[in-house]
Chains A and B, each alone.
Chain A
């Protein structure tokens, strides 16, 4: 018993200060790729290398449409490795969660020459909103929202709707002493009937469709749904096929989307906090 206590004291504090303090990330962490659309001359090799078609191109006559969907991106870095023009850069950005799936998509149109090289950028539609940087204000807002709508605590029910278990590895990590979700008044519960939020992973398999819908119905109002990872957002590498629906929003309404494969614990935390901000905005009744 004394040894156990001693070990606890010897270990000291290990908990991250995120979101108040910046997260501890390795220099080598691969986050979202960024693209220099203005000067990109040839997107074909990068699009060809993308395993999930997050980056795709469509040529119509002398016009090329290049689409980047961060919702499908698995941050593998293959676009950056394949690109020969220096227009792709891997960053350490991970706070990518959005409330509108369309905000994850960037579309750029180019005139192309006979050799398929992009001549100049005609127009660009950038759905991705600037990342919420003011995390301290966000957290304050969160505490307010939790306090107002849910009596200082948010209960999450996690639903694996076909995940590979990668997202679960990182979601489980939120409970460890390093991320310690409970310090923010947030905890995981065993039953959807006790939950305010559903955290949904996986492309939603045909065999989990009914279970997910039943879980959603069992969750009392007010409730929010967060789709986690490339699969939860758009089916990921599995896509939509005979056995999958291709994303959580194909089965239940989704409030927030967290990109990643899997999203690191900080990214999950960011997305959950973002979802809570929305609860405040809605002005949901207590």
Chain B
């Protein structure tokens, strides 16, 4: 079984013939192969036919070093724990690459990001409009190396975004945002409705774009961890861990076993506090206010546990390259374990209360349905993916921290409605509690932090974590003096926003909040 999990991609590459023979680099976690840009569509088609999934596509400006931009396609296969990365060189004079978005809708936004950030044209893209830069931005490409981070752009003029008109008798457009009614992040939604049902939803994101990937290039690695923690504030520990794993992979550093267990515990605590909050918010959006009051109280309990263990309610300032900054003693661990039992009882009371409510179930079942085929085509991952039949979980597929010691059986449902997205969360909270107890029970008092060497320049690696929303990917290339030349951040929300567009169609406008909440995507993680 284990052998299979580390050789399958090699077999697929061998069978793929000469197109994949240019092996760039191979490590325990990744295989890199050089492929001409023109061959990317054929290579992608072959790998997909062999059962691979496109996890991400991104670019890098290496014009100063070796006269090329590079496009990186990240694949994974269910029977291999490594990632396969195809690299395609693009000459500056050519400044374009073939688009795969028509074949692989999951890459739609990511290819357009490459257009915006680097000025490389995605040839044949079915919808090549800007996605990351708003329409009123000047013609700039911020991730090019010749674009200074402190560039002061002139005052913006014109429309931020031109929405497609929706025509027809009795069809109205409802604009919502960017400032929303609740305490949530900003984005603009434009609904086309005929009566109550939603015909079509257009999303405009990137309102909270703050130049994070560029900023990474201006921080030394030890300080950059804190930037990773601020990519998506409710996923600080997951993002920080993914960043650190990439750095550790580059530095060939083995994280001590106690630190891996501590990371596991904290990753699961982050999952629990967010899942509990979302469960409460979902039922709140259909009027079950008292259940939300209990859920938000339970979230507070977990935030207090976080503070007890780490000094930070949102688990900040804990993870670091090589392990964790702070250990905890038996007294702290004992208090936390003692708090988990009443938490679990209360959580069961909460879910009993929700499940006993027929009217709640009535509102959630068959609401906001994302069919399994749609989810597969759009590359939907994480909670939303598992509720729509997509069985992905980084903890099992690319084990890290202490997850190789536990059996991960992700809850997978086929119906893809709000109810199942809530149910996935309920199931996962229960398993997270088990993982925490298991990891804590074997926690020894060894070192919690391996020393990090100065990182070699020009090296690169992936770090990935199953955050509570889904797969978080970091790809880092180092520069001289322990700095970063490129840091690609892919939050699962980037994959999953298009799912919302599909899921709301045919639903009534008043159900939009609960559908949106059931996906619970990160705006900041998307916009960076």
Contacts and interface: CB of A to CB of B under 8 A. Distances in A.
A7 B208 contact: no
Contacts of A168: 183-185, 233
B349 interface: yes
B178 interface: yes
A191 to B, nearest CB: 7
A165 B299 contact: no
Nearest to A25: B307
A165 B207 contact: no
A163 B524 contact: yes
Nearest to B331: A27
Contacts of A243: 142, 209-211
B314 to A, nearest CB: 6
A133 B303 CA distance: 26
Contact of A238 (B211, B297, B317): B211
Contacts of B316: 74, 76, 166, 261
Nearest to A156: B183
B210 A203 contact: yes
A244 to B, nearest CB: 5
Interface stretch (A56-64, A115-123, A170-178, A272-280): A170-178
B186 interface: yes
A160 B180 CA distance: 9
Interface in B203-254: 206-212, 214-215, 219, 222-223, 225-227, 230-234, 236
Given A159-B179, A166-B314, A190-B181, A242 B230 contact: no
A257 interface: no
B296 A175 contact: yes
B415 interface: no
A173 B208 contact: no
A206 B208 CA distance: 8
Contacts of A101: none
A111 interface: no
A19 B524 CA distance: 32
Contacts of B26: none
A165 B208 CA distance: 10
Interface in B312-341: 312-314, 316-317, 325, 332
A242 B234 contact: no
Interface of A is mostly: loop
Nearest to A76: B317
B267 to A, nearest CB: 17
Interface in A183-226: 188, 190-192, 202-203, 205-208, 210-211, 215
Interface of B is mostly: loop
Given A8-B290, A29-B307, A166 B210 contact: no
B505 interface: no
A141 interface: no
Contacts of A237: 215, 226-227, 230
B226 A76 contact: yes
Nearest to B184: A168
Contacts of B223: 49-51
B67 interface: no
Contacts of B310: 28
B323 to A, nearest CB: 14
A50 B226 CA distance: 10
A164 interface: yes
Nearest to A243: B211
B230 A238 contact: yes
Contacts of A78: 317
Interface in A226-281: 236-244, 261-262, 264
A192 B179 CA distance: 10
Interface string A20-50: 0000111011100000000000000000011
A262 B313 CA distance: 9
B1 interface: no
A160 B184 contact: yes
Contacts of B309: 28
B210 A178 contact: no
B356 interface: yes
B266 to A, nearest CB: 14
B2 interface: no
A211 B311 contact: no
Contact of A207 (B184, B185, B209, B349): B209
Interface stretch (B45-53, B107-115, B147-155, B440-448): B147-155
Nearest to B161: A207
A169 B317 contact: no
A207 B208 contact: yes
A171 B183 contact: yes
Contact of B186 (A164, A173, A211): A211
A96 interface: no
Contacts of A8: 290
B233 A165 contact: yes
A30 B311 contact: yes
A77 interface: yes
A81 to B, nearest CB: 7
A77 B210 contact: no
A4 interface: yes
B134 interface: yes
B522 interface: yes
Most chain A beta carbons < 10 A, residue from B149, B230, B314: B230
B353 A215 contact: no
B294 A202 contact: no
Interface in A74-132: 74-78, 81
Contact of B207 (A76, A77, A192, A207): A207
B43 to A, nearest CB: 34
B210 A205 contact: yes
B308 A208 contact: no
A281 B153 CA distance: 39
Nearest to A202: B208
B182 interface: yes
B231 to A, nearest CB: 7
A206 B157 CA distance: 12
A65 interface: no
A77 B317 CA distance: 8
B169 to A, nearest CB: 31
A69 to B, nearest CB: 16
A206 B137 CA distance: 10
20 contacts: A11-B297, A28-B310, A28-B332, A30-B311, A77-B325, A161-B186, A163-B208, A164-B232, A165-B233, A166-B236, A168-B184, A168-B233, A173-B300, A178-B300, A205-B209, A206-B156, A211-B178, A241-B210, A243-B211, A262-B314
Query: What are the 10 closest A-B residue pairs judged by CB atoms, nearest first?
Result: A166-B233, A164-B233, A176-B296, A190-B181, A76-B317, A30-B311, A51-B226, A243-B211, A165-B233, A51-B223
